[in-house]
Amino acid sequence: MPAAPLRLGLAGLGTVGIGVVKIVQAEAELIAARAGRPVAITAVSARDRSRNRDADLSGYAWETDPVALARRGDVDVFVEVMGGHEGAAKAATEAALAAGKHVVTANKALLAHHGQSLAEAAEAAGLSLRFEAAVAGGIPVIKALTEGLAGNRMKRVMGVMNGTCNYILTRMQSAGLPYDQVFEEARSLGYLEADPNLDVGGIDAGHKLSLLAAIAFGTRVAFDAVELEGIGNVSIDDIRLAEDMGYRIKLLGVAQMTGRGLEQRMTPCLVPADSPLGQLQGGTNMVVLEGDSVGQIVLRGPGAGMGPTASAVMGDVIDLARGFRVPTFGIPAAQLVPAQPARAATPAPYYLRMTLVDKPGALAKIATCLGDAGVSIDQMRQYGHEGANAPVLIVTHKAAPDDLAHAMARFAATGVLTGAPVAIRIEEV
């Protein structure tokens, strides 16, 4: 007797949802062979039924309410690709788990805010909650961490996980354009989320980092503890000068467990221009995983879009069809320990840019502030200038963030600075 199909209820018919429909329809045979049983969509839901979606949905039952879809008797797996961390997405995911359905979601915000309670509900009911598509689009990073690297104690997880920000930063660099102009360009190309601050404020990437940190370090998701700084203050001057010194600026996420607790930050950083992260162009994502046994793994690929995100959803769906089960965050949710958040204190070199009055002793005063705080200068350049102000660039040796902050707090009192200094961490990758 042929195996019974795995029946999907698909909530959300935007780019990702239609991508899932296309793969299910075009690759039915391949999927059945790989999964050992057919995978079929039985019902769908979206806000607007009348919209032309460039896909044949005529064989599927239609539900206006995703909660009703989640509860249908002919649905085994609820696929949530609606987005939003409250409201319908949350209610429907909870309803699906309560009704005994597995859930596959692309919703990073939902899991960053409610991952613990949803994973506990799923596991208490013997169900799977899977989210490969939520982090770095088509890159199978959740599988890499929960399966391939399961024998490692993870040391550090890093990544460029917002394609829009990477597009903006690389375009600024390659075209020599200021942030505001490239932001508008990204908006006109449709790259920005409905709320652009999710992208450029680092929130979307911060959601993703918090999910990876939970798996890597066995801690409950702690999105609120991610130190977040977006790219809105990255100037074309810094991009140019960083390039001059052999660096590129990236919105880089870093999570690592230290003796003081879990450091998680998503902030603009300098990385060596010739490193894999420095070479990353446009909307592409990159995740760097460091384990004690394996060393460093670099995963690079598309972080968004119809095909890549649907590819990740289908990887999870096929695992469920095969009967393969992994706890949502790699170990049972009840065993995840609360993260003890630690403010970033790992020492690093820093890039400092400032403008000084061009008078004898000005530079010495700044050097003294740094020296008194225990911050040592590695490289320094004063750029050619006309007039009374001198642009100065300093790269420090490794310094503790608090020591640097202490030095910078004393800069103002020197009276030699014109304008605010800029400090950007240089991440050793």
Catalytic residue among 90, 101, 108, 208: 208
Give me the least distance between CB of 249 and ligand HSE, in Å please: 17
Range in contact with ligand HSE (rule: CB under 6 A) among 156-164, 232-240, 271-279, 343-351: 156-164
In single-letter form, the type of residue at position 50 comes to S
Residue 63 makes contact with ligand HSE by CB under 6 A: no
Give me the least distance between CB of 184 and ligand HSE, in Å please: 16
Please give the Cα distance from 221 to 115 (Å, whole number): 7
Give me the least distance between CB of 298 and ligand HSE, in Å please: 18
Q: Which positions from 301 through 330 interact with ligand HSE, judged by CB under 6 A?
A: 303-304
Pick the binder of ligand HSE from 65, 94, 185, 193 (CB under 6 A): 193
Give me the least distance between CB of 374 and ligand HSE, in Å please: 38
Residues in binding contact with ligand HSE, number by CB under 6 A: 8
Range in contact with ligand HSE (rule: CB under 6 A) among 45-53, 70-78, 121-129, 158-166: 158-166
Residue 185 makes contact with ligand HSE by CB under 6 A: no
Q: Which residue is nearest to ligand HSE (CB)?
A: 164
**Considering only CA atoms, which of 11, 184, 175, 159 is closest in space to residue 90?**
11
- Determine contact, residues 289/2, Cβ cutoff 8 Å: no
Per the listing, tokens 């690709």 go with: 81
Could you give the strand order of the β-sheet that contains 389-396, starting from the edge strand earlier in sequence? 377-382, 389-396, 350-357, 422-425
Pick the binder of ligand HSE from 42, 146, 164, 311 (CB under 6 A): 164
Pick the binder of ligand HSE from 199, 263, 290, 403 (CB under 6 A): 199
What is the H or E stretch that residue 2 is in?
none
Give me the least distance between CB of 295 and ligand HSE, in Å please: 27
Active-site residue flag, 143: no
Pick the binder of ligand HSE from 162, 219, 346, 396 (CB under 6 A): 162
- Residue 146 or 162 with smaller CB distance to ligand HSE: 162
- Determine contact, residues 9/101, Cβ cutoff 8 Å: yes
Q: Enter the DSSP assignment of 146.
A: I
- Residue 133 or 225 with smaller CB distance to ligand HSE: 133
Give me the least distance between CB of 193 and ligand HSE, in Å please: 5
Residues with catalytic roles: 208
Where along the sequence are the contacts to ligand HSE (CB under 6 A)? 162-164, 193, 199, 204, 303-304
